[in-house]
Amino acid sequence: MIKQVVVTDAWYEHEGTLFLNPALQAYEHQLLNMQQTWSKNTEVIPLSWYAEQAEQPVAALPAAVAQNLPKGAQQYWVVSPYHARLTRSTLRVMPEAMLDWSAKEGQQVCAIVNPLLAEHGLELFMVGDVLMLAAQDVWQVDMPDFAQVSGKSLPNHHESSKDAGLWLRIITEVQMTLHQHQVFTQSGMQIHGLWFWGQSEVVADVHDLRLSNVATRNIYLNTVLKALDKQQDATVIISEAEYLPSLLPSSLPDHWLLLGAGRAVTLRSHRLTAALARVKKPSWKGI
């Protein structure tokens, strides 16, 4: 029985106004009848939120379920391929869900990019359907969660840190290499670059992960859940908005968490709130 629904891209902001993701509009009437509790929150993808509940660095989870980790690695990163479009002054990364990449494309990217990365002590490798990066040294650079990049302009600088300059140069070189050796997904979308994020110097102990069984279609989280056998009899849905209809039961659960655009709203069924909604048209309160 599904007890909670977590939607990681429920909100987007345009010119200072907050909007509900159009994929959730079919449920908006029922959701507005629930009690709202708003707060601020960083943008995350489903794997990031799951890792936060486990109190683990993001990359520690897929690394924990890897069959063979590269020898001598001291640091691991999650790798997100992206498709980008050139605007007047920046590269705009297309939303993650638009790029239907798979393990096949991931393996092609490894073969193309690893010769470039090797000189920096870096290596791409696959964990199930997910791309990861292993580093022989610990890099001191802070990369945003891919949710903070997906659908937005690609940052051209990072917070000042010891290795930020070289890291940015490597990302640019990867872009150039993928421009020369093109990789296309099944739908014909080209992979233009790779985003490294969620770094971890530890590998999670899967025996210590006491987490709810989860339903999702997110490629990163699904890879971890399959290995942990955490998909059967799910009690929680963690999803991007567009995949939600295929995961929801016929009756909507009583507890929702809507994340996105730096906000979080917890929704719970509440008789008084529902009763007032019959008298006064409810709205999103915001913060």
3-class secondary structure, 5: strand
What is the residue type of 98? M
Closest CA to 149 of 69, 281, 28, 44: 44
Alpha-carbon span 223 to 211, nearest angstrom: 15
Give the pLDDT score at 259.
97
Return the H-helix or E-strand segment holding 172. helix 164-180
Place of tokens 């050796």: 181
215 three-state secondary structure:
strand
Q: pTM of the full predicted structure? A: 0.90
pLDDT attached to residue 230: 81
| Cβ proximity of 107 and 132 under 8 Å | no
How far apart are alpha carbons 116 and 128 in whole angstroms? 23
Quote the Cα angle for 77-219-195, to 5°: 35
- How does DSSP assign 67-103, residue by residue? SSPPTT--EEEEEEEE-EEE-SSSEEEPPGGG----H
The H or E element containing residue 14 is: strand 11-14
Please tell me the predicted confidence (pLDDT) of residue 156.
Answer: 66
Q: DSSP of 168-217, one letter per residue?
A: HHHHHHHHHHHHHS--B-TTSPBP-EEEEEEEESS---GGG-----EE--
pLDDT at 95: 81
CA atoms in the 13 A half-sphere facing the CB of 174: 29
Asked if residue 43 lies in contact with residue 259, where contact means CB atoms within 8 angstroms, the answer is yes
pLDDT in tens, the chain (287 residues): 899 999 999 998 888 889 999 999 999 989 998 999 999 999 999 999 999 999 999 999 999 999 889 999 999 999 999 998 877 667 788 888 788 899 999 999 999 999 999 999 999 999 999 999 999 999 999 889 999 988 888 776 666 678 888 998 999 999 999 999 999 999 999 999 999 999 999 999 877 777 789 999 999 999 999 988 888 889 999 999 999 999 999 889 999 999 999 999 999 987 766 555 565 678 898 76
| Single-letter amino acid code for the residue at 188 | G
| Domain positions in the chain | 4-47+207-279, 56-200
